[in-house]
Structure 1
Amino acid sequence: MSAAMQERPAVQAGRIPTVVRLLVLATFVVILNETILINAIPRLMESLHITQQSAQWVSTAFMLTMAAVIPVTGWFLQRVTTRQAYAIAMGVFLAGTALSAIAPSFEVLLLGRIVQAAGTAVMMPLLMTTLMIVVPEQDRGRVMGNVTLAISVAPALGPAVAGLILQAGSWRLLFVVVLPIAALVTFFGLRKMENIGEPQVSSIDWFSVSVATLGFGGLVYGLSLFGEAGGGVGPGIGVVVAGVAAIAVFVIRQLKLQRTGTPLMDLRILGHRTYSLSLALISIGFLAMLGAMILLPLYLQNIRGLSPLETGLLVMPGGLAMGLLGPTVGKVFDRFGSRPLVLPGSIGMVLSLGGFTQVSMTMPFWQVLGLHALLMVSLAATFTPVFTLGMGALPPHLYSHGSSMLGTLQQVAAAFGTALVVTVMTARSGHLVAEGVAPAPAELSGMKLAFGIAAALTVVTIVVAANLPRRIATDDTAADAQAPDSAVDQPTGS
């Protein structure tokens, strides 16, 4: 795939290449599965006779596998053709989905989810890398708007889709419904898929693979322990510290390998200021999104007594708005640059999460719907320009490494967001219950505090947004050497 980075296929301006359309569709289908089981936890507990903590592992194991596998994808995508990468990723995903659908026990279901995640982990870096190769710079914002549909809207819609499917029966239907859709996407994708360039033969440092797996996987696992009842915080801290230590070893190893030109993940991507700023903003955005996605169902079902279907329907408009706005946001970015989108989007995130600190036993549902929609629209206005700016800031030979880093940190941010809000909520409500407060008001108070901390963290996105350039200069070095405002007038050809 790397050879194509030197020589882009001719693409008609204003049109989305077929290969990108196919990859967006496939990525949407596979990423939807990251959050589709959130609403099915009670069914899993009843059907498989497991505790809530065990049931949460169907989501935790997915994120953990993604975090462990994605660092290897930069190397993998350079060694295989586009068709081979697509076939392997979708084949592995289909195998995991089939295994999950027929799982006779929780252990087999967990294995199926791990296999699913291994396939999913390849799709997003494959999509991002291919897009940067085949789409001209002046069209990237519009095309990235469609990519936002896959990588941002899919996890947002997961619980809503699950709520609808679960009305028809067992949790197994979640996999039975996805399986034929994914099979059709794979079949038609392979018929139409074109190879983008030729693979590059390169060696892999297995020590780096091992340390990356232990580091990123351990970090996600440790963060997931924070939300568990029964003293999960102590072990969680220990695992997180061990994970961070392994990541430090990984970083040192990559810096050494960069001198020979064969790092597993080329950390020179972090030397590009615009990419680093984009990475920070995307990570905080995903933290906020996943944190809200965990808290809202708990609030709506545990405090307000809604069913999974009613919960799914209430959050569906926000997810749909995010998806429908993606292409429009991309066109606005192509024409006006990032500043008119990212700054208001960052402010909208803070206002939305701030509004959720006012949840109560009687808050009108239309207000909950409105705040959720504001959050989703704000994320749509932010993600598309920031993805485009961040990846566009890198030289072509670093695209696969940039998308690999992006995907890894998204999983870590998602795990951190989930762990943060659950830990804060649990600690606050537990303290109040010990003081004699009734469980429901105590849990509500914990949710308010968790939303407040998430809102405080997203204030950082406003600062980052103010420092992003409107457009990428001819080369990233030139862009980064200029102040944000001086980069405003760089031409895009639109």
Structure 2
Amino acid sequence: MITSATQSQVQQVRNPKAMAFVLMVGAFIGLFSETALNMALTNIMDDFAISTATVQWLTTGYLLMLGILVPVSTFLIQWFTTKQLVVASLAFSVTGTILAAISPNFTVLLIGRLIQAVGTGILLPLMMNVILVIFPIQKRGAIMGVMGLVITTAPATGPTVSGLIVDALNWTYIFWVSLFFFAALIIFGLRQIDNVSIITKPKVDVLSISLSTIGFGGLIYSLSAVAEQSFASAQVWIPCLLGAAGLVLFVIRQFRLKQPMINLRVFSYPMFTLGTILVFISMVLILSTAILLPLYLKGVLLVSAAIAGLTLLPGSLLNALLSPIVGRLFDRFGAKKFVPLGFLLVLLSSLLYVWALTADTSLWQILAGYMILFLGISMIMMPAQTNGLNQLPRDLYTDGSAVMNTLQQIAGATGTALAILLMTSGQSSYSESFPDASAAELLAGGVKYAFYFITAISFAGLVASLFVKRVRV
């Protein structure tokens, strides 16, 4: 039963489900773009005659722009109406998508990707904030389950769908397909958007924005560069040092401001802090696996992009099926019943890959491990996220969603960079032990080595999940 006190916390809109659906579809297309090009990187390298280090910026640059922009979302939400932000987000997304689809060279393609990321960076925190405002807390688990489905399934299905497109058509059609859905959203979806933001127009603190950009941008750039450069390289340690200094100064300034850019007092709520850590770990696992397995399937087992994508499809479908179910059950049982079990399954998936990955592993073992992984992820993301946000008072929803979304992008960059770094290190170690190994055996050894790291992270998540407590509202 919804009490009058709870009801008063809900912002009334014409059709909350339709409004949430439109925002989620927009976010899905944007997050799909994070990994959609993973299956097409080799094709793009051939078309534009560029190196691996250069082509990786199509993913790194996207994450970098998200990491810079998402923290600024707290200002945007308080300065502009909900509808204005949705229109701006779709405008950036459409412009970037068209530019990338018709790009005559790599520079234009990268610029298009960055403009795409601006649209996604506006929409992600807005979606989470709107959902927290327009649904009562007793029904929030189910809708957050669907949102968790969007956040995890979009990057997971990127390689599957793009693999089919690359084999059947051309990598540019990845953008044309996205453009079709953006156009449909503009035509049929914008009419469902109501204004729910409270416009206060706080003073824009330019120094906070600058420190945030330097901090998050430097950190993500450094993490991405380390995949191709040594730790001693100036290209790695200078951005890392600047990023760390920027973040420290940013945190100090937020606590001194009467109206901070992001209210970091959200971390005084223990379940929010723990939920943020668990979501961070989950995104590291998702993005690192999303880049390693396509490389393994295409480079070691020598399957086509379409077959590689279809091998990963059942795991994505399982997540799509279970996330809304877990969301509904969360409202009844809470996060404690799901999160530890989810991390146990993720750990089992990682151990399976550590045990099974060789130069001649069967496809069914890859498929089974991926299904177990996303069976676990479906029990982690939404419960951990919702349980944490439920502990926050309404005036901290915007700050809490901005913090979670920012750290998710940093997690994506961290997972991607470390996966490539460890895979490369594993290949070097394997070649020293087996100098006569084939290229496929070297790549398999490198990917297997990276999964040792993923197993360790999974175990850390399992231990942390044991401290989850149900938030009583």
* Equivalent position SS for 1:194: coil
Match of 1:422 in 2: 420
* 1:473 pairs with 2:465: no
Paired residue type of 1:9: Q
Q: How does 1:347-362 map to 2 (within 5 A)?
A: 347-358=344-355, 359-362=357-360
* Equivalent position SS for 1:61: helix
Distance 1:58 1:240, change over 3 A: same
Counterpart-to-counterpart distance in 2, 1:97 and 1:40: 16
Counterpart-to-counterpart distance in 1, 2:185 and 2:30: 10
* 1:363 pairs with 2:357: no
Deviation of the 1:10 alpha carbon: 4.4
Q: TM-score, normalised by structure 2?
A: 0.94
Deviation of the 1:17 alpha carbon: 2.6
Match of 1:67 in 2: 67
1:357, 1:447 within 8 Å by CA — same for their partners in 2? no
Match of 1:222 in 2: 222
Counterpart-to-counterpart distance in 2, 1:66 and 1:310: 30
* Equivalent position SS for 1:35: helix
Match of 1:205 in 2: 205
Deviation of the 1:7 alpha carbon: 4.9
Counterpart-to-counterpart distance in 2, 1:29 and 1:428: 34
1:326, 1:384 within 8 Å by CA — same for their partners in 2? yes
Counterpart-to-counterpart distance in 2, 1:197 and 1:242: 34
Distance 1:110 1:249, change over 3 A: same
* Equivalent position SS for 1:333: helix
* 1:383 pairs with 2:381: yes
Deviation of the 1:232 alpha carbon: 6.9
Counterpart-to-counterpart distance in 2, 1:7 and 1:348: 37
Match of 1:51 in 2: 51
Unaligned runs of 5+ in 2: 1-6
* Equivalent position SS for 2:261: coil
Counterpart-to-counterpart distance in 2, 1:342 and 1:389: 11
Distance 1:191 1:318, change over 3 A: same
* Equivalent position SS for 2:103: coil
Paired residue type of 1:329: V
Deviation per CA, 1:273-296: give whole Å up to 9, x if none.
010000000001111111111111
Match of 2:112 in 1: 112
Deviation per CA, 1:377-431: give whole Å up to 9, x if none.
1001111111111111111111111111111111111111112121112112113
Which of the residues 3, 7, 10 maps onto 1:8? Answer: 10
Counterpart-to-counterpart distance in 2, 1:233 and 1:28: 38
Deviation of the 1:48 alpha carbon: 1.4
Match of 2:84 in 1: 84
Paired residue type of 1:374: I
Deviation of the 1:233 alpha carbon: 6.2
Deviation of the 1:16 alpha carbon: 5.6
* Equivalent position SS for 1:305: coil
Deviation of the 1:437 alpha carbon: 4.3
Paired residue type of 1:310: I
Counterpart-to-counterpart distance in 2, 1:386 and 1:16: 23
Unaligned runs of 5+ in 1: 475-494
1:226, 1:423 within 8 Å by CA — same for their partners in 2? yes
Paired residue type of 1:270: F
Distance 1:196 1:314, change over 3 A: same
Number of matched pairs: 464
* 1:252 pairs with 2:252: yes
* Equivalent position SS for 2:306: helix
Runs of 4+ in structure 1 over 4 Å off: 230-233
* Equivalent position SS for 2:35: coil
Counterpart-to-counterpart distance in 2, 1:113 and 1:160: 20
* 1:293 pairs with 2:290: yes
Counterpart-to-counterpart distance in 2, 1:370 and 1:16: 37
Which of the residues 327, 332, 353 maps onto 2:329? Answer: 332
Counterpart-to-counterpart distance in 1, 2:405 and 2:11: 25
Match of 1:450 in 2: 450
Paired residue type of 2:401: S
Counterpart-to-counterpart distance in 2, 1:6 and 1:77: 21
* Equivalent position SS for 2:321: helix
* Equivalent position SS for 1:33: helix
Distance 1:298 1:232, change over 3 A: farther
Counterpart-to-counterpart distance in 1, 2:448 and 2:33: 28
Paired residue type of 1:463: V
2:299, 2:443 within 8 Å by CA — same for their partners in 1? no
Counterpart-to-counterpart distance in 2, 1:314 and 1:204: 48
Match of 1:393 in 2: 391
Deviation per CA, 1:27-81: give whole Å up to 9, x if none.
1122111111111101111111211211111111000000010010011112211
Counterpart-to-counterpart distance in 1, 2:324 and 2:150: 12
